[in-house]
Amino acid sequence: MTKIIRTGITLFIFPLALPLSAQKSITIVSQVWIDGEQETVFNKLRSLQEFTDWSPFLVSDPEQKNWVEGVDGEIGSAFHWEGTAEKSEGIQKLVAMKGQNYLRMECEIFKPYKSQPVFEYELQEKDGKVQVVQTFTLKPADSIGL
């Protein structure tokens, strides 16, 4: 089950690595179907301790240093990272949840460029599978105060 979730989610979370071009917002909507129960998938997504199980960023930077602050899986918990190979640094914070259907995570990236992407996840269970729709939004740096 974990491998399926990791593989499915990894396929559509990669946009965080994209730098923002001049004065344009970026919104990318992706979806994946995962075999399993909605509660299991939801709990995997909201757990920042388990983010390292499926994060595509650890594949490209396996020596990355990371830690979680706050109560894992609860509003306000934060995943901090300092990349080694990628020389990246940032924070991803869980800021909103609605039932087991919606999550919102806001990031603040300090290196290699400053940005504040937002990840929103909407989940829906159907026929023993869970549809996860991820919306990735990144606005121009001057519109977010960087």
Task: Write out pLDDT tens, residues 99-144.
Answer: 999 999 999 999 988 999 999 999 999 999 999 999 999 987 544 4
Pairing, β 26-35 against β 118-126: unpaired
Tokens of 23: 């004065």
At 46-77, the pLDDT tens digits run: 999 999 888 777 788 888 899 999 999 999 99
Helices (H), 23-113: 38-46, 51-54, 57-60
All domains of the chain in start order, with CATH: 2-143 (3.30.530.20)
Q: What is the pTM of this model?
A: 0.78
